[in-house]
Amino acid sequence: MALSKSTVNKTSKKEDDKSEPILVNKPEPFVSETGKPIIVFDGSLDLKRTIKILEGGKPILITAFYSDGLLLLKELQLHLKKKLPNKTLKEQHQFRSAFHKLSNLVLIEIVDHKLAVKKAPSIGWLEKLYPEDNDFILSFPQVQGLNSAWQWYKNGITTPVLRNKIHPYYGTYFSTRFEKLILFDNWLKRYEGPKKSAIDVGVGTGVLSFQMVKHGFQKVFATDTNPNAIIGLKEQLGDTKLSRKIELDYGSLFGKWDKQTELIVFNSPWLPKIDSSDKNDEAVYYDKKLFPDFFAAAKERLLPDGKLVIIFSNIAQLTKSTKEHPIKKELESGGRFKLEKSWTKDVKGTSDKTKEDKDSRPTEEIELWVLTN
């Protein structure tokens, strides 16, 4: 199911009155084909027959218990595992694609911003993201995603580098592995340069910006191409002191920030896109133009004695996605920056769910690169 965009956040009075409202990314409600009724699943339909209906391209509406949807998706997964090989990366991709297609035909109705089934979770996003839509239909996987995201948002996430929890807004990438935050925090503790301003490219949930403020930076200019990241942070910052120290802009790379600064931080994507049609999260995957464009723009915005800090990983090399390392490539042939120093930190727990010998597998490492003019 596609994501739709809806206006939920208007620019503040402090911003240019001519600015367009930021549109949030959210799951797009299901629209049935005219004249075609949706088959109801209330527990009376046989599961195998129901799966055949899904394979025929017909949607199924869960109407009795929330657990009926969970049971149907579990049975669908078992059915596809028996039907499709699932060993090689290509086969796994085919399996995920088939499951995604069929599982998104399993639907659930929302009435007055609540799931219209018994024993369903309460999901605050239904009202927050759809203020003008009281009644609509979403796919069951979309509802599962909203429910999971609501729990993270409502309960918050404790990090080892901040006093307060972070509350990731729906659709904003976040990691529960904190090695990169610890690496960056240790570097900030040693940093002795000026702290008048910094730029955070790809702010996400805002953790790196919060860290820089914690370590004494007077002003952080932050950007993100994900509207949900900007909307979520604006909501979180509100009129607090942090809102006067962290200024946000919805835009690619440096957005509207064109002044030179002492520090530029980029928590970059770590994996190359497989092809141009790949529409995966930009927080994870990068295209061929991203790093060349970033380095060219960073050169113009970094003060002569400034630092450029990039957080990266060797995951692309471990997964054999590419042999090319974009930062090493820039240092070898870009002619713009010099390496001051780099650090690495092993990622814990990357092999906990594998049956392979952990000692025989290469270890994922988080990398922190510090470049200078």
pLDDT confidence of residue 351: 39
C-alpha distances (whole Å) from 186 to each of 174, 190, 309, 317 are 20, 7, 13, 25
d(CA 330, CA 316): 17
Which residue type sits at 349? G
**What is the mean pLDDT of the segment spanning 137-152?**
96
Helices (H), 194-351: 207-214, 227-237, 241-245, 290-301, 315-318, 326-333
pLDDT for res 45: 81
Please give the share of the chain, as a percent, with pLDDT higher than 90. 69
Average pLDDT over residues 265-284: 69
Distance of alpha carbon 196 from alpha carbon 194, whole angstroms: 6
Average the pLDDT over 6-12 and give the result.
Answer: 49
Q: How far is residue 269's CA from residue 242's CA, in Å, rounded to a whole number?
A: 26
Banded model confidence at residue 22, pLDDT cuts 50, 70, 90: confident
Average pLDDT over the chain, rounded to an integer: 87
**Angular region, 171: left φ>0, alpha ψ -120 to 50, beta rest:** left
Residue 283 has what pLDDT? 67
Statement: residue 315 has pLDDT above 90: no
Supply the pLDDT for residue 266. Answer: 96
The tokens for 352 are 């906990």
Angstrom distances, CA of residue 91 to CA of 56, 96, 278, 299:
22, 9, 18, 43
Lowest mean pLDDT among 120-129, 144-153, 269-278: 269-278
**Pairing mode, strands 198-201 and 261-267:** parallel
pLDDT of residue 35: 60
Kindly state the average pLDDT of the residues 205-214. 97
Residue 38: predicted pLDDT: 85
C-beta of residue 308 within 8 angstroms of C-beta of residue 337:
yes
pLDDT band at 343 (very low <50, low <70, confident <90, very high): very high
Q: Is the model's pTM score more than 0.75?
A: yes
Q: Is 360 a residue whose pLDDT tops 60?
A: no
Helix (H) or strand (E) holding 201: strand 198-201
Would you state the pLDDT for residue 6?
60
How many residues belong to the chain? 373
Q: Which of 18-32, 135-149, 244-258 is least confident?
A: 18-32
Task: Over range 94-121, report the average pLDDT.
Answer: 95
For residue range 133-143, what is the model confidence (pLDDT) as tens digits? 989 999 999 99
Question: CB neighbours of 35 closer than 8 A, spacing ≥ 6?
Answer: none
Residue 175: pLDDT band (50, 70, 90) is confident
Q: Residue 268: what pLDDT?
A: 87
Q: Give the mean model confidence (pLDDT) for residues 243-263.
A: 95
**In the numeric block, which tokens belong to residue 191?**
């940093």
Pair 98, 80: CB distance under 8 Å: yes
State how far the Cα of 178 lies from the Cα of 267, in Å rounded to an integer. Answer: 13
pLDDT of 353 > 80? The answer is no
Going along the chain from its start, the domains and CATH numbers come out as: 3-153 (no CATH), 179-372 (3.40.50.150)
Query: Which of 62-76, 192-206, 234-248, 353-367 has the least mean pLDDT?
Result: 353-367
